[in-house]
Amino acid sequence: MADQILIVDDEKDMLTLLKRYITHQTDYGVATESDPLKALQRFKRGSFELVITDLKMPSMDGIDLLREIKKIDPEISVVIITAYATIDTAVEAIKEGAYDYITKPFRRERILMTVEKVMAWRKVVAENLALREALAGREGGASIIGSTPAIQAVMEKIRQVAPTMATVLITGESGTGKELAAQAIYRYSQRKNTDFVTVNCTALSETVIESELFGHVKGAFTGAWKDKKGLVEIADGGTLFLDEIGDLSVSMQTKLLRLLQAGEYKPVGSSRSKNADIRYIAATNHCLENEIQEKRFREDLFYRLNVVRIELPPLRDRTADIPVLARHFLQKYALFNQKEIADISLEGLQALQSYHFPGNVRELENMIERSIIFCRTSVLEKKDLFGEAQPQAGTNGVNQHILSLPFKEAREKMMELFHAQYIRVLLDKNNGNISRAAEAAGIQRQYLHRLMKETGIMANEFKP
């Protein structure tokens, strides 16, 4: 077993005693070191969860060792033991981040109790970290989910543009995942290990956005009692994400244009310009071309931002992705809310695919989370998802949004919806067996394969 606990004491008898206490009563691995400087080097090479150190030692005292260890790993638990206990040293130890402060002589039970408390705490921290990673969807953050051609084209464009330094403009309706796309560009970029700074152009008022973006100098305005770094300076060397850029005032657009053109900006109240090396990503749910016509957005800024354009499709244009998205959110929120809900019924999935989702993926996510909270069974049913209200439909169960489209487009959407729903029922009845499903439907196996690929359906979703 790898060593999990490092004990540091210049008295070898004390090292032997402490190691015997812990190894005889627990399963934890223990390493010992009599020289604090060597212990520090050992800590750098190892992977310890707890350090127990004496306070008074010749080459380095326990407080200094605590400080150095915390520089390497701020989350590490350190327990200080001493025969020279004073209120001052106890307070100092706790202020520096010690988990506990134990005075000599001590009882074996006191040491063992402290060790178990630390390890229990470390386990909770590890579980919470694992939960956060699970909720993020995968290592590195939340991912774009879907297999329809519309979303696959977006993902391919992201893969192509991410390694470059090109400015990217992400457009799409609210709730389509524009920030998710920006984060994906950042994760696949050459600057993935630098800062990713988000500016919400809607959330910041006109009076504070310039100071938030560019910073200010002391005395620039009432309340500016010291210099303040802006988000642009923080993002220097990294990536700046300008979310909802279409809501930025024209005056701020002018100042932002200078930053994009020359890489220069001035903190509020300063007469000196600063330079910034930044990769820019912007997003908006506005049609900026219309905003330009209405004189609400600068045309020159638009062309600076619109180097690479990524348009995110609304959820109604990729209804075949709804089941996989719904199941992803089911897994995420069932885990988060500690609910044992395994799946969504076929009727529930069909109802989701029939709904037009004006709020797009965000609305779907909220619907699944809300349904999980109130669901009392192991499967989400249609009634859990929609309650008494039903998905908006016409007299024949046709989505009202589809009925408002031009005939050719409406027919294509209805065919996509029919294929997705029909194939799901077919595969569900045949437990994911494609040959049997094709035979039951009276179609060629290759044709069924093609339809499955077009609608993003996997056979293993239906295996018993």
State which of 134-143, 219-228, 341-350 shows the largest mean pLDDT: 341-350
Does 395 score more than 50 pLDDT? no
Split at pLDDT 50, 70, 90, the class of 347 is confident
pLDDT value, residue 3: 63
Does 393 score more than 50 pLDDT? no
pLDDT tens string 81-124:
988 767 777 778 877 888 888 888 888 888 998 898 888 777 76
Split at pLDDT 50, 70, 90, the class of 440 is confident
- pTM for this entry: 0.59
pLDDT tens string 3-58:
689 999 999 999 999 999 999 888 888 999 999 999 998 888 888 889 999 998 98
pLDDT value, residue 208: 81
Q: Which domains does the chain have, with CATH numbers?
A: 3-135 (3.40.50.2300), 149-313 (3.40.50.300), 317-461 (1.10.8.60)
pLDDT value, residue 401: 61
The backbone region for 458, taken as left when phi is positive above 0, alpha when psi lies in -120 to 50, beta otherwise, is beta
Average pLDDT over residues 420-442: 80
- Which amino acid is residue 422, in one-letter code? Y
Average pLDDT over residues 381-410: 66
Does 152 score more than 70 pLDDT? yes
Calculate the average pLDDT of the chain.
84
pLDDT value, residue 315: 93
- 237 phi and psi angles, rounded to 5 deg: 90, -5
Does 368 score more than 50 pLDDT? yes
| 220: Cα within 13 Å, side-chain hemisphere | 18
